[in-house]
Amino acid sequence: MADKIRIKDIALRAGVSVGTVDRVLHDRPNVSPKARVKVEKALEEMNYQPNMYASALAYNRSYMFQVLIPAHEQVAYWEEIEEGVKMAQEACRDFHIKANIIYYERFDDESFREAARKCLDSKPDGVVIVPADLDITRQFTDRMHDLGIPFVMLDSYMPDLKPLAFFGQDSFSSGYFAARMLMLIAGNETEIVLLRITKNGRVLSKQQDNREVGFRHYMHDHFPHVRILNLELPIGQSRQLNDSMLETFFAENPNIHHGITFGSKAHVMGDFLLRTNRRNVQIMGYDMVGKNAECLRQGSISFLIAQHAYQQGYCCIDALFKAIVLKKKVHPVNYMPIELLSKENVDFYRRTQL
């Protein structure tokens, strides 16, 4: 078998010394072009497949990966990403992998720049990044390209920045799918509500923007007569203020029975609907957040779309490990499953353990 081929067997086949073979295998200097050709020819003829794990262990060096993500307050999506990162680090512990998390404030350009500076000052071997604004992110990724630091993108895909890999949902397809599922139960409606949780008038991620684009494409193609009403609730405001805005909205729009939000806070409206006993209204949302799951069980949330956040966090670190430590090629675009949860199957949903 290929993994039982010994260095001295290769040396004998190539007609060179064992030391020369070792230098070629580990890409070390002081090998003549003629000898290198002989060794490479022998490797090809013998179908030699190096044991990358053993080779990486033999180097006995440590690796630092930095993970830049938005600051958050117990948001299940980000917490599961962090847990996936930690589990991937644990799985690679024999290779002395350290994955450190750096937080930045969303929509705060200087916060992102400071996180980027902190990251680069640590001289990381690889980086996982949840991107901010395209131009701001490009400044950071251009610098990483200059320094030869591989990076993986998480949550939002910006192919122009040429990451090593991306892990996350196809946001447009996710929004398109969400519209199709929503209209299975809202096909007879003339109006629906689109709830946006915003900060300074902006939704919380580029991913949510792309989901809305996909959603509106489906609605334009298949339900052009349905009016989509926008409702914005600023993030972090009190439940009393949310309730007041929601009460006003439903008083002014009594024909609304279904809606959607493209983030993890469907429970903000779902809980309001339960407390005010509006049993004829439902909202659809994203993420297996505990409060979302409870509203789903009680009927104020119609469906949730799961994102496999734990798997995303794990796979990002695993991709850096394979590319940097094991010198393997990784798949550049990795879309996560788009899974629909209802009250009938929510209790059977489990994150993917890798």
- 126: domain range? 59-168+309-336
More confident residue, 207 or 319: 319
- Whether residue 154 is found in the same domain as residue 222: no
- Whether residue 106 is found in the same domain as residue 186: no
- Whether residue 125 is found in the same domain as residue 213: no
pTM of the model: 0.77
pLDDT digits (tens, 9 = 90+) for 146-177: 999 999 999 889 999 999 999 999 999 999 99
pLDDT number for residue 174: 96
| Inside any domain, residue 143 | yes
- Whether residue 43 is found in the same domain as residue 143: no
β-strands 339-341, 126-129: how paired?
unpaired
- Whether residue 153 is found in the same domain as residue 221: no
pLDDT digits (tens, 9 = 90+) for 29-67: 888 999 999 988 988 888 776 665 556 555 668 899 999
Q: Which two tokens stand for residue 260?
A: 């959607």
Does the structure show a pLDDT above 80 at 68? yes
Does the structure show a pLDDT above 70 at 287? yes
- Whether residue 184 is found in the same domain as residue 302: yes
CATH at residue 15: 1.10.260.40
- Whether residue 195 is found in the same domain as residue 297: yes
| Inside any domain, residue 269 | yes
- Whether residue 207 is found in the same domain as residue 275: yes
- Whether residue 236 is found in the same domain as residue 87: no
CATH at residue 69: 3.40.50.2300
Are 229 and 191 within 8 A, CB to CB?
yes
pLDDT number for residue 2: 43
pLDDT digits (tens, 9 = 90+) for 288-310: 888 999 999 999 999 999 988 88
Runs of H (alpha helix) within 122-170: 134-147
- Whether residue 198 is found in the same domain as residue 278: yes
Count the domains in the chain: 3
| Inside any domain, residue 200 | yes
- Whether residue 77 is found in the same domain as residue 40: no
pLDDT digits (tens, 9 = 90+) for 98-127: 999 999 998 789 999 999 999 999 999 999
pLDDT digits (tens, 9 = 90+) for 6-24: 788 888 989 999 888 888 8
| Inside any domain, residue 350 | no
Are 207 and 155 within 8 A, CB to CB?
yes
DSSP string, 19-58: HHHHHHHTT-S---HHHHHHHHHHHHHTT----HHHHHHH
Specify the DSSP element, H or E, that contains 103.
strand 97-104
- Whether residue 214 is found in the same domain as residue 274: yes
